[in-house]
Amino acid sequence: MKDKMLKSVYRYDALDDSYHVVIDLDTYRDVYSEWDYSPVTNRDLDEDLIEYLLDCSIELALKRKMVVDFYIPSEIVDYKRERKSINGFRHYFAYQIRRIKSDRLQMLKNSTILLAIGILFLTIAILSEGKIDNHLLSKLVTEGLFIGAWVALWEIFSTLFFDVKKLSDKINHYHRLMKIDINYKVKN
């Protein structure tokens, strides 16, 4: 059922079992951010294009072959520019993958610190239970330490099972987009 629906949304090529994302361009510049005028190989891609391609990648799932077809007016066809554009596309996603991996590593480092804090609070809470003469103060300190420990430990759980998973999924889709077949075709 899902394949039938996808074949109605994307152009399907039975020869190589691929789903084609078709994008019409007026100029080669349309692929890039309108604010970025750096060289093509270092230029940021258009945010709407990235979001659209990422959504397509998620919808098609990683197991299906995805191809991007950019359609360009015949009067501006420039093969050299197309090669540079494809290289720029690959550089962009390679950079994004490195950046996300760095963010993921930082999250894991922060989780290690939170683990140490959680264990420390838990240890102090257990050891200080009943050691303070004032019953109300003793209860307040130990309960506060227990709550702080569980909050720190919950944050680790949340980071590892939700945030890191999201980043890992994004990395997988960016890997796909970095290596994707890109075709420039002439508009009819």
pLDDT in tens, 54-102: 999 999 999 999 999 999 999 999 999 999 889 988 999 999 999 999 9
pLDDT in tens, 112-171: 999 999 999 999 888 887 676 677 777 888 889 999 999 999 999 999 889 999 999 999
Q: Report, in angstroms and rounded to the nearest whole number, the Rg of the chain calculated over CA atoms.
A: 25
Confidence of residue 178 (pLDDT cuts 50, 70, 90): very high
Q: Which residue has the tokens 């945030």?
A: 163
Give yes or no for residue 40 having a pLDDT over 60. Answer: no
- pLDDT attached to residue 1: 52
Neighbours of 88 (CB within 10 A): 20
CA torsion, ordered 146, 151, 157, 163, to nearest 10 deg: -170
Cα–Cα distance, 122 to 60 (Å, whole number): 46
Distance between alpha carbon 99 and the CA centroid of its chain, in Å?
A: 10
Confidence of residue 41 (pLDDT cuts 50, 70, 90): low
Highest mean pLDDT among 8-12, 29-33, 140-144 belongs to: 8-12
What's the predicted TM-score (pTM) here?
0.80
Q: With DSSP H G I counted as helix, E B as strand and the rest as coil, what are the percentages for the chain, rounded to 5?
A: 70, 15, 20
What SS3 state is found at 79? helix
- pLDDT attached to residue 104: 94
Cα–Cα distance, 89 to 95 (Å, whole number): 10
Amino acid at the residue 126:
I
Confidence of residue 177 (pLDDT cuts 50, 70, 90): very high
Cα–Cα distance, 174 to 180 (Å, whole number): 10
